[in-house]
């Protein structure tokens, strides 16, 4: 019964979107094969969810505006991908989209599946740091991937995500988002997005990868402990942005870059693009690796995505993992 109601709701919403003028309840009823009373109930449900729908006697219904909803129905409306985001697991609230993706991966969830939530109660970033994921203001999502590549290439998926998210933010907002190696997106010295890529391997091959993405979109304020280092697209511009449009651009662009990664051994263009967006290059950095602190200057990115550092003693090292802080106006961040 629930599935039937959901199908009717989605079909009715599609009819309203396809008609720029009023459409009668009778016409909708005939099209969907349900009673006008059922149509009226669904219309009221949509209104309660934030859809602005005008009702006029002898004219019918007209969709005026769509709320910033990230349901499966809304995300698929206008999404032009072959497989990334074509299967969507959408939640009002969940502990962690990454954890849900890993759980469903073990149950056979397909390549490109998207896991997305309006709110996370246990969102986390790198090194198990908590990630603030309040309701209806951000993009909290994970993409499940099943690449046929060696585990050593996993870092490049994070690099791709960084490029894609920077470009999507810049296109949607006009801001200048940049990457702090390996996977923080920075605007004006503050973090607006984090990327957490996890994998499960089996006999030296990747079983699946979960690419977790958290973007602070319309967040108005942050907890005291992070307010000086975190920002949102709203705080940077004073404008609210559509999460749906941002997500769709990320998914579309991600699929394009991911296919280059999967089908090409030549990734120079992608690495060059990442370098051009990377804040670290030319800056003083501190790396914490294996409980050891290393100071130096970031001088480049290797062809597989490692950060190249010239230490204070002149030694050149390639860093593939670890916590990297960048020297800023107020110390390291």
Residue range 54-71, pLDDT digits in tens: 988 889 899 888 878 898
What pLDDT is recorded for position 1?
56
The topology (CATH level 3) of 284-332 is: SH3 type barrels. (2.30.30)
Whether the pLDDT of residue 242 is over 90: the answer is yes
Token digits for 331?
Answer: 């110390």
Whether the pLDDT of residue 164 is over 90: the answer is yes
Cite the residue boundaries of each domain of the chain with CATH code 1.10.10.10.
2-65
Whether the pLDDT of residue 235 is over 50: the answer is yes
- Over the stretch 86-125, which tens digit does the pLDDT of each residue have? 999 999 899 999 999 999 999 999 999 999 999 888 766 5
Whether the pLDDT of residue 329 is over 60: the answer is no
Token digits for 292?
Answer: 């050891």
Whether the pLDDT of residue 53 is over 50: the answer is yes
Q: What is the mean pLDDT of residues 212-230?
A: 92
Instruction: Enter the CATH code of domain 2-65.
Output: 1.10.10.10
Cite the residue boundaries of each domain of the chain with CATH code 2.30.30.100.
284-332
- Over the stretch 13-49, which tens digit does the pLDDT of each residue have? 888 888 889 998 889 988 888 888 888 888 888 888 7
The Cα 47–Cα 242 span in angstroms is: 19
What pLDDT is recorded for position 125?
53
Residue with tokens 């309006």: 118
- Over the stretch 295-322, which tens digit does the pLDDT of each residue have? 899 999 998 889 999 999 999 999 887 6
Max CA pair span of the chain: 82
Whether the pLDDT of residue 128 is over 60: the answer is no
What pLDDT is recorded for position 45?
85
Q: What is the mean pLDDT of residues 162-169?
A: 97
- Over the stretch 196-213, which tens digit does the pLDDT of each residue have? 999 998 877 889 999 999
Question: Which helix (H) or strand (E) covers residue 262, if one does?
Answer: helix 243-263
List the strands of the sheet with 307-311, edge to edge: 316-319, 307-311, 292-301, 284-289, 323-328, 331-332
Whether the pLDDT of residue 247 is over 60: the answer is yes
CATH of 72-277, one of 3.40.50.720, 3.30.930.10, 3.30.365.10, 3.30.360.10: 3.30.930.10
- The reported pTM is 0.86
- Over the stretch 252-293, which tens digit does the pLDDT of each residue have? 999 999 999 888 766 788 899 999 999 999 999 988 877 788
pLDDT, greater one: 126 or 111? 111
Cite the residue boundaries of each domain of the chain with CATH code 3.30.930.10.
72-277
What pLDDT is recorded for position 328?
52
What pLDDT is recorded for position 287?
84
Whether the pLDDT of residue 131 is over 80: the answer is no
């Amino acid at each position: 019964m629930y599935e039937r109601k959901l199908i009717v709701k989605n079909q009715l919403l599609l009819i309203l979107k396809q008609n720029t003028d009023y459409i009668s309840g009778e016409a909708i009823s005939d099209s969907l094969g349900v009673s006008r009373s059922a149509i009226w109930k669904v219309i009221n449900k949509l209104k309660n969810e934030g859809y602005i729908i005008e009702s006029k006697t002898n004219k019918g219904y007209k969709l005026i505006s769509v709320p910033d909803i990230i349901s499966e129905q809304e995300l698929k409306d206008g999404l032009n991908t072959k497989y990334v985001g074509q299967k969507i697991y959408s939640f009002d609230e969940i502990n962690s989209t990454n954890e849900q993706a890993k759980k469903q991966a073990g149950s056979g969830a397909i390549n490109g599946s998207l896991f997305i939530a309006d709110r996370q109660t246990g969102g986390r970033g790198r090194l198990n740091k908590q990630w603030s994921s309040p309701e209806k203001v951000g993009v909290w999502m994970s993409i499940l991937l099943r690449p046929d590549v060696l585990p050593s290439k996993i870092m490049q998926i994070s690099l791709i995500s960084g490029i894609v998210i920077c470009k999507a933010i810049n296109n949607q907002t006009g801001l200048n988002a940049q990457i702090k190696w390996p996977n923080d997106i920075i605007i004006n010295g503050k973090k607006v997005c984090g990327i957490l890529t996890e994998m499960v391997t089996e006999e030296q091959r990747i079983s699946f990868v979960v690419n977790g993405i958290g973007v602070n979109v319309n967040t108005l304020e942050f907890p005291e402990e992070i307010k000086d280092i975190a920002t949102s697209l709203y705080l940077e511009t004073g404008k609210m942005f559509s999460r749906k449009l941002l997500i769709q651009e990320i998914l579309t662009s991600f699929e394009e870059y991911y296919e280059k990664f999967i089908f090409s051994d030549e990734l120079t263009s992608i690495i060059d693009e990442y370098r051009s967006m990377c804040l670290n290059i030319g800056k003083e950095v501190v790396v914490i690796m294996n409980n050891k602190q290393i100071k130096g200057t970031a001088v480049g990115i290797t062809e597989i995505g490692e950060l190249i550092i010239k230490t204070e003693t002149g030694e050149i090292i390639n860093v593939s993992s670890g916590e990297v802080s960048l020297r800023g106006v107020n110390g390291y961040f």
